[in-house]
Amino acid sequence: MLFFEWLTIALALPVIPPGRDESELLDGLRKGDEQAFAEAVDRYSGSLLRVAMAYVPSQAVAEEVVQETWMGVFEGLSRFEGRSSFKTWLFTILTNRAKTRGTRESRYVAFAEKTGSEDDDEWGGVDLDSFIQSGSKAGHWIEPPHAWDHGTPERLALSKESREQIEQAIEALPATQRQVITFRDLEGLSSDEVCNILQVTETNQRVLLHRARSRVRRTLAQYVKGDLG
């Protein structure tokens, strides 16, 4: 391609600023830069919505919580010191808003009753009916887990059907288990960050994560056996 040809094309293209890193984004927000705000909204709002759904009973309420979270960002921006990542700070604001919201929502009561019984959830994360309970083989698998081949995570993540199965499995979890697995495995936060946000001990966090992952694994195992195996 001739240089001038290239130049004409290049000049005709809209200027798309390359993705800003977190501190550039924050600078932009503080200056009231609309581009920066739009970029921040596009980068984080999906995650915020997904987390909000673990707190409140409907998509509509979750969307309002996401909006309130961004309002909280405007208010708190000058005080944000960057001791946590921006994303973790957003999640902290979000959980506070979601909890306040939760107590105001009458529907939340029904939701909490439905899913809030995890404190007395005796289930240890593994179903007893997966294991032989008596005799010389006690403690062994009744139906031993199969080997999944190497590309299974990619395949599962790409299949619409398996994504729906995962979503349903996560939705069916008690609220705090859903919150922990969303933060840890969907959003990739560290256990320290999650303990801070949720104000739970490390052990408690791990127990919730264990139960949640065990249930999702079981759903996937059934799916893999039926559809991919």
Partner 1 sequence: MDKNLKEHLMSYLLGRLSCQDVAEIITEYLEGAMSLSNRIRFHMHLGMCRDCRNYLEQMKATVQTLGKLPPEPISPHVREELLRRFQHWKKG
CB closer to partner 1 out of 37 and 80: 37
213 binds partner 1 (CB under 8 A): yes
> DSSP for the chain?
--HHHHHHHHHHS---PPPP-HHHHHHHHHTT-HHHHHHHHHHHHHHHHHHHTTTSSSHHHHHHHHHHHHHHHHHHGGG--SSS-HHHHHHHHHHHHHHHHHHH-HHHHHHHHHHGGGGG----SS-GGGB--SSTTTTSBSSPPPPPPTTHHHHHHH-HHHHHHHHHHHHTS-HHHHHHHIIIIIS---HHHHHHHHT--HHHHHHHHHHHHHHHHHHHHHHIIIII-
Q: Contact with partner 1 (CB under 8 A): which of 84, 130, 196, 204?
A: 130
Q: Compose the 162-191 pattern: x for residues touching partner 1 by CB under 8 A, - for all others.
A: -x--x--------------x---xx-x--x
**Segment contacting partner 1 by CB under 8 A, of 1-9, 89-97, 110-118, 154-162:** 154-162
Tell me the closest approach of the beta carbon of residue 97 to partner 1, in angstroms.
Answer: 14
Tell me the closest approach of the beta carbon of residue 136 to partner 1, in angstroms.
Answer: 12
CB closer to partner 1 out of 63 and 105: 63
84 binds partner 1 (CB under 8 A): no
45 binds partner 1 (CB under 8 A): yes
Tell me the closest approach of the beta carbon of residue 117 to partner 1, in angstroms.
Answer: 21
42 binds partner 1 (CB under 8 A): yes
139 binds partner 1 (CB under 8 A): yes
Q: Compose the 93-112 pattern: x for residues touching partner 1 by CB under 8 A, - for all others.
A: --------------------
56 binds partner 1 (CB under 8 A): no
Tell me the closest approach of the beta carbon of residue 65 to partner 1, in angstroms.
Answer: 11
Q: Burial-class residue 54 by CB neighbours within 10 Å (0-12, 13-18, 19+).
A: buried
Residue keyed to tokens 């509509």: 60
